[in-house]
Structure 1
């Protein structure tokens, strides 16, 4: 159990999917309470009961959409684990329970008491904690198995990984007026986004070196869109796929091991099809 909690897990991202999850979760809570009428809610009207679902939706939107948007370094795949995901879910449940308590006190015109708060917390936990923990473990195992199989299939069908890239020089325009830089395609290994800057990592006399330029990774990617082997693989990375010597997988996506580079380059879910297509075409 403890080992699973320390495994890497996809961090929440500010994407449409999380907004849909928030709305559907609130709708489920509202319909569940309206239909089954637990916790002596049969005396309340539909609107009053439905507001519990609205509370759920609003809080989920805050934690799953706006929090990753405002705190990208905290909600980063680089550090996110299964345990952190469960802690986030528990925090969400705690906040939902708190606002449910405040709403219940207001709705019933009664003074605040810890007994009422703890009662609402226990009720919210009954509805949320066990299903969410179960779904997190289930989702982790599904993603892990899927990405391990994908990495295995690519390795199985790939006769040879390392191929020399073209000895072509690419000229890149920076965000500074009239400033450009160039690099040889075969020397390029990967690039990392750093705000409005990009770290270009390349080989120089068989040593890996890094140079920082005033150009966003998006602009760098657009200027190299015609080069099939130099691709975006993550929101923070571009990579030369001809430099890949091994591929592995985890719940977050694929991991690329490059020649002359000890660390691992991540491939997020969004970019897996691009990487997969490249190796299929170049098998």
Structure 2
């Protein structure tokens, strides 16, 4: 039962075209270098060639493999509508690719009209031994890249402040002077070289003064609900009670605040979801 569950899991490492191209190029380069440098299976003794001819012949084995994978990973997958794999279908597809490579080798380098069965077994044996290493190497790199991307995405999500997290308000020297829960922040107003941070605490509106600029705070809180709405104001979108649209002028009423805060034209797109469609 566990084996069946495992075989039915999705195999996503070759879903993207980039990853398939990476597989093909890696196998091509790896095969050419590996065959010419290490000369496995005494492959250099299969033919009596000069050094240059031997290099070209050995390299051609890698080129053939790459061309077969280029065919199986793109046109053939499209023909059979194999856009995604389960582990079991991926294994089957891998076996099919090995068989195709073996057959191509027979027709290019062997004698298909001779003892076909023996030639096929011979070709299949060395194809499996030769392809497993570069193929596994490519898949491991793709897995590592995908895993690293997923971890980075998760870290970014975790680092984004939620409504229950504290926002650290830094001064112009990048030092945290105080922290306020995001859900308690109401608005921020610029006053010369300072900003006034208004927030709710103990059912009252409180105010903290901070030496910094709205521009710096805008960059600092770009992933939060605190957004710029005017050259002199930032507001907490979660605290909006009413938006008034009078012609080209837009203003905002926040919870617990009597003050009406203007919205400049350049920041109106931040509030387009609250406005009626034209």
Output the TM-score relative to the length of structure 2: 0.44
Taking CA–CA contacts closer than 8 Å with sequence separation of 6 or more, which of the two structures ends up with the larger relative contact order?
1
Larger radius of gyration: 2
